[in-house]
Amino acid sequence: MKSARLSQIPCLTSVCNCGNTEKKCEGGADGQTAGGKRHSLFRSSHCQSVMVDQTPFEQKNRERIQAVENSFGPSGKSLMEPGRVLVGEGRLLKLCRRRPQQKVFYLFNDILIYGSIILHGRWHKRQQVIQLEEVEQEDLEDGLGMANQWLLRTPRKSFSVAAASLEEKQAWMEHIEECRLQQIERLGLKSEKRGSFAASWIPDRASAICMRCSNRFGVTQRRHHCRRCGFIVCNTCSKGRAVLENISRKPVRVCQQCMATMQGEWQQGQTQGDSWNSRNWHKGSVEDKQHTLPDDDVSSGEECEEPAESHAPTQWVSMQDGSCSPYCYFNPDHLTPPGLTA
């Protein structure tokens, strides 16, 4: 497995619309202009960079990013941004609600993208984009039939993923953390300042009973998930709805215990004159309604996918001396990746 330090990314020379010429290093930490001032990789809209005299690495990087964008089709987001570099890609097992599913993951120097695999890995769907400055990782022990797993936390969604080997897991975690720290530095954020993270959902198979009232699930007693704590609960124990600002602007399902906790926080906020907390609670606290949340209570992107084929090792872009490794194919039968011609 090839692994590369991000600080070895070659410098890029760009000319801005305002006429200024600067030399940027995509490693982020050491990139400075000729005058000695540090510049961000991403410039404002009124001073967009135009790349000139592209190196072979820059050209290949653009082709790779375009290929990733094309693989998601028209439903995917545009991925071409000034200074963006595709660092690595591969397949990881994502612990979904019903069972682990193989997903494709793309690590850039500023974002992490994953999606579902279709058409034998040649195309993807349900593109999910995660800002690296919002990510927190936690190492996990092996369990639930998943070895080499760790937890990815984000404000909107948290979930466990697993690699094919311990070495691959360590490589993913190290690359993600390195990219995250450099992105935080580029944005001028404080690395120790962390916001709220969404709770990771406990898989359905982890419990045969409601984790609040202990009633057994069955044909008439269906499983649901509290969006605040991630517990598996029955409908009776999760009639409440509340707005969780970091997850959704609409009321979502929460269990009775979390509802009571939030109500206590609201009452405390009222006493202390916390107007935002009061508005948030009154807007989000509603009774159980059929139209508020679908009965199946399934999170997006976790429907059944086609069986995944044999695992292909994760590969990382080699950026020493401006060279680059071949595009990371997921299947040896693919002569060319989507969007590229032979």
The enclosing domain of 92 has a CATH number of 2.30.29.30
Structure tokens at 154: 């984000």
What is the predicted pLDDT for the residue at 273?
Answer: 59
When pLDDT is cut at 50, 70 and 90, the band that residue 113 belongs to is: very high
Whether residues 249 and 277 fall in one domain:
yes
Three-state DSSP at 202 gives: coil
Return d(Cα 99, Cα 302) in angstroms, integer: 9
Helices (H), 5-151: 56-71
What is the predicted pLDDT for the residue at 200?
Answer: 76
CB neighbourhood size of 289 (10 A)? 10
**Residue 151 vs residue 77, higher pLDDT:** 151
- Residue 224 within a domain: yes
| Backbone φ, ψ for residue 189 (5° rounding) | -95, 165
pLDDT in tens, 233-278: 999 999 889 888 777 788 889 998 888 888 888 777 766 655 444 4
Average pLDDT of the chain? 70
- Residue 310 within a domain: no
pTM: 0.59
Return d(Cα 315, Cα 334) in angstroms, integer: 16
- Residue 339 within a domain: no
What is the predicted pLDDT for the residue at 144?
Answer: 64
Give me the mean pLDDT over the 87-106 stretch. Answer: 86
Cα–Cα nearest to 317, from 19, 75, 98, 26? 26
Return d(Cα 176, Cα 75) in angstroms, integer: 25
- Residue 267 within a domain: yes
Type of residue at 286: V
Structure tokens at 24: 């940027």
Whether residues 158 and 210 fall in one domain:
no
Cα–Cα nearest to 338, from 115, 171, 175, 179? 115
Residue 43 above 90 pLDDT?
no
CB neighbourhood size of 41 (10 A)? 23
- Residue 332 within a domain: no
Structure tokens at 334: 């693919």
CB distance 52 to 13 below 8 Å:
yes
Whether residues 192 and 59 fall in one domain:
yes
Whether residues 255 and 164 fall in one domain:
no
Return d(Cα 274, Cα 8) in angstroms, integer: 48
Residue 337 above 70 pLDDT?
no
**Residue 127 vs residue 321, higher pLDDT:** 127
Whether residues 130 and 176 fall in one domain:
yes
Return d(Cα 241, Cα 224) in angstroms, integer: 13
CB distance 206 to 231 below 8 Å:
no
Q: Is 68 left (phi over 0), alpha (psi -120 to 50) or beta?
A: alpha
Residue 112 above 90 pLDDT?
yes
User: Residue 172: which domain range?
Assistant: 55-196+315-322
Whether residues 62 and 191 fall in one domain:
yes
Return d(Cα 288, Cα 103) in angstroms, integer: 34
Domain count, the chain: 2
- Residue 152 within a domain: yes
| Backbone φ, ψ for residue 178 (5° rounding) | -65, -45
Give me the mean pLDDT over the 215-226 stretch. Answer: 89
Domain C-terminal end among 236, 264, 284: 284
What is the predicted pLDDT for the residue at 146?
Answer: 81
When pLDDT is cut at 50, 70 and 90, the band that residue 14 belongs to is: very low
CB distance 110 to 132 below 8 Å:
yes
CATH for 210 = 3.30.40.10
When pLDDT is cut at 50, 70 and 90, the band that residue 38 belongs to is: very low
Whether residues 257 and 152 fall in one domain:
no
What is the predicted pLDDT for the residue at 65?
Answer: 93
pLDDT in tens, 195-213: 677 777 887 777 889 988 9
Residue 176 above 50 pLDDT?
yes
Lowest mean pLDDT among 111-115, 242-246, 253-257, 315-319: 315-319
Whether residues 88 and 139 fall in one domain:
yes
- Residue 86 within a domain: yes
Whether residues 152 and 210 fall in one domain:
no
What is the predicted pLDDT for the residue at 263?
Answer: 83
Whether residues 161 and 230 fall in one domain:
no
What is the predicted pLDDT for the residue at 194?
Answer: 62
What is the predicted pLDDT for the residue at 318?
Answer: 55
Q: How remote is the C-alpha of 315 from its chain's centroid?
A: 19
- Residue 14 within a domain: no
What is the predicted pLDDT for the residue at 171?
Answer: 94
What is the predicted pLDDT for the residue at 48?
Answer: 42
Whether residues 271 and 237 fall in one domain:
yes
Return d(Cα 335, Cα 53) in angstroms, integer: 29
Whether residues 63 and 190 fall in one domain:
yes
